[in-house]
Amino acid sequence: MNRSRGPTSDRNLTWQHLQPREQRWKALGQRPVIAWLTGLSGAGKSTIANVVDQALTASGRATMVLDGDNIRHGLNSDLGFTDRDRAENVRRVAETAKLVADAGLVIIVSLISPFSAERKAARAIAGDVAFIEVFIDTPLPICEERDPKGLYFRARAGTIPNFTGITAPYEEPTKPDLTLATVGQSIADTARPLIDMLLQLSAVSEQPLYDQILPKNPELMRNI
């Protein structure tokens, strides 16, 4: 697949055709999926991603979690929190997720990704790899009450600029593929629908759900 997005002749670049990705998928015995978890800070994204990752590994799936904070310690350590930097943060994570998905893994992205346009761009980068937008639906007052890192307190005090939900906007998904409400539920109960969905989508069969559901009928995904 040619991933080029613009002229390359002036940079002397040529897309190299390597081993078909489907051969790697066959060797792994699974199909790749990208689950993109979005929500406010403190919503529970990282916690849910970790539980889902462990459950899938225990079920024999090859997986990887791309956590927003962890990515900013390395790959995206040069980015700040302006709107432009946030967009670039999402783009880099999406490109990384696509590369790992081409290797056949199930990717669980845990990233605030506050803007709908950037989440839409991430889906476009995924191309024909199954991509599910998962809204971790935790109200702002609950996130502030949890405040595991003390960030909301500092944001309210004015010491953290451009903080999502306080001094910077968060655009809730209008039509997510899956919504996980965290209030009043255990972590295990919250994570279960996503675990089940990823096990189904990554399964190899003669007529896999992967082909039947995405991207042809995203409405069906929301009803699982």
Q: What is the pLDDT of residue 133?
A: 97
Residue 28 pLDDT exceeds 60: yes
- The radius of gyration of the chain from alpha carbons, rounded to an integer in Å, stands at 18
Give residue 220's pLDDT. Answer: 41
Percent of the chain whose pLDDT exceeds 90: 65
The whole-number average pLDDT for the span 210-217 is: 47
Least confident of 38-47, 199-208, 209-218: 209-218
218, pLDDT greater than 80? no
pLDDT average, residue stretch 152-159: 91
The mean pLDDT value for 84-112 works out to: 95
Catalytic residues: 113
Would you say residue 111 has pLDDT above 60?
Answer: yes
Model confidence at 204: pLDDT above 50: yes
Instruction: Indicate the domain borders of the chain.
Output: 22-222
How confident is the model at residue 148, as a pLDDT?
82
Answer whether residue 1 shows pLDDT above 50.
no
Return the pLDDT at 198: 96
pLDDT at 103 over 90: yes
Give the CATH fold of the 22-222 domain.
Rossmann fold (3.40.50)
The predicted model gives 59-73 an average pLDDT of: 94
User: Does residue 138 have a pLDDT over 90?
Assistant: yes
Residue 114 pLDDT > 50: yes
Q: Residue 165: is its pLDDT beyond 60? A: yes
Return the pLDDT at 81.
87
Q: With cut-offs at 50, 70 and 90, classify the pLDDT of residue 149.
A: confident
